[in-house]
Amino acid sequence: MPAQIKLPEQNVVFLVGRLTRDPNVAFTQKGQAVCRCDIAVNRRYLDTATNEWKDDTVFVPVVVWGAAAERCKDRVKKGTPISVEGRLTSSEYTDKTTGQTRRSLQVTARRIQILENNAAGGYHTADAAPAAKDDVPTTDVMEDDVPF
């Protein structure tokens, strides 16, 4: 019998990009804030066939919960550069046109950092604890200003 190999399971995502639209903040029936936004992440590469630099852009949906979601609404807008640390999550929905079940991926943020200087000369951060396993994720959120 071959030996069982145990591999660590990790689901950690780090992205840096710009918001593609103003954040959309809503509240669940239990009063939990949820912010949905999309970021554009660019990868610049040299096309060896044409010897030209090209951009490959990926658009990533991001979800932020709790007080961090409310802070994002007040502090970021379309074009704001941000850093996102979180985990990849998936959800299923039924396509209203075809009736087929679809799956989508998104990043559920644990930490958001705004990469523009604030008036105090530092950067904004919004930390969130991992989401709870019930139907509405809850977060304990603290805000740190990280000066550089």
- Span 87-117, pLDDT tens digits: 999 999 999 999 999 999 999 999 999 998 6
Q: Which residue has the tokens 């961090």?
A: 68
Measure Cα distances from 33 to 25, 51, 145 in Å. 7, 47, 22
Domain boundaries, the chain: 19-147
Two tokens, residue 10: 């990790």
Which CATH superfamily, name and number, covers 19-147? Nucleic acid-binding proteins (2.40.50.140)
pLDDT, tens digit (0-9, with 9 covering 90-100), for 24-83: 999 999 999 999 999 999 999 999 999 999 999 999 999 999 999 998 888 999 999 999
Two tokens, residue 102: 């679809």
C-beta separation of 87 from 109 below 8 A: no
pLDDT of residue 142: 36
Residue 68: closest CA among 139, 145, 147, 131: 139
pLDDT of residue 135: 39
C-beta separation of 144 from 112 below 8 A: no
